[in-house]
């Protein structure tokens, strides 16, 4: 089953702890996909989900005290 990638706005609704758990889960899935099938549509969608989760985490962290100067870039390389 292939689901659509959650948007940053959808992800921002979750608590920070949930986002971190999601990031761990998606990273595990991505690692397994790369090992099994290499770069594919599914692994690219997973990577986009990881990037969106990372962005939502950064937005949450920045909104909890610091001014929000974070700008999302679709071409941003996820943390590794």
For residue range 22-68, list pLDDT tens digits in order. Answer: 999 999 999 999 999 999 999 999 999 999 999 999 999 988 754 44
Question: CB neighbours of 46 closer than 8 A, spacing ≥ 6?
Answer: 26, 29, 30, 33
Domain boundaries defined on the chain = 14-31+43-60
Residue appearing with tokens 């001014």: 67
- Furthest C-alpha separation in the chain: 42
Between 80 and 31, the more confident residue is 31
Q: Is the pLDDT of residue 16 over 70?
A: yes
Q: Torsion-angle region of residue 65: left (phi > 0), alpha (psi -120 to 50) or beta?
A: left
């Amino acid at each position: 089953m292939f689901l659509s990638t959650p948007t940053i706005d959808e992800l921002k609704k979750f608590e920070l702890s949930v986002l971190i758990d999601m990031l761990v889960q998606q990273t595990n899935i991505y690692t397994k996909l790369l090992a099994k099938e290499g770069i594919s549509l599914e692994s690219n969608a997973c990577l986009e989900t990881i990037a969106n989760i990372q962005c939502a985490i950064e937005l949450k962290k920045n909104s909890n005290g610091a001014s929000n100067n974070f700008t999302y870039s679709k071409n941003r390389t996820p943390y590794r």
